[in-house]
Amino acid sequence: MAKKATHYNDTPIEKWNAAHFQAYLTDQHIERYGIQYASAGSVVAERNLIAKYIGTARKPGQYRKEMLKAFIDACFTQYNPTQQYPGLSFWFMQEYMKRLLQQAELASKREEAEREAADNIEEVADWL
């Protein structure tokens, strides 16, 4: 029996859950800013917020997991730490950097449309 992956690096992104995303946020925060990650509010509230976006085993989310990761990465790339706000939280990202979420969603939809178009071209080529 295969060992269940527990770290996000050992897990394909389509299988990530809210805990994987929180671990990713923590690691990226330390790597990029050199300080510990601090969620805005409780860890459970943040997990619920992430789950709203990606879904749970029982409830579908609003976005694909790859798209949410792209949003998080864009937030880290664009954020400039200040003395008053030396780091980011997921709550801050989704509250004040929503335009990046919309941009990630648009890019994701474009990629999906391009994949579908390529699949359709292959189907037509096979048919011919």
Question: How many angstroms separate the CA atoms of 12 and 60, rounded?
Answer: 18
Which residues, in sequence order, are bridge partners of residue 60? 55
Question: How many angstroms separate the CA atoms of 105 and 101, rounded?
Answer: 6
Amino acid 5: pLDDT: 52
- Dig out the tokens for 96 from the structure: 């004040």
Q: Which residue has the tokens 């860890």?
A: 43
Amino acid 10: pLDDT: 87
DSSP tag of 14: G
Amino acid 4: pLDDT: 54
Backbone φ and ψ for 40, nearest 5 degrees, come out as: -85, 110
**Angle in degrees, 0-180, between the axes of helices 43-54 and 65-78, rounded to the nearest 10:** 120
Provide block-wise average pLDDT over 10 residues at a time, the chain (128 residues).
66 93 95 94 92 92 93 95 94 94 88 82 69
SS3 60: strand
- Dig out the tokens for 73 from the structure: 């990465």
Amino acid 1: pLDDT: 47
Amino acid 127: pLDDT: 66
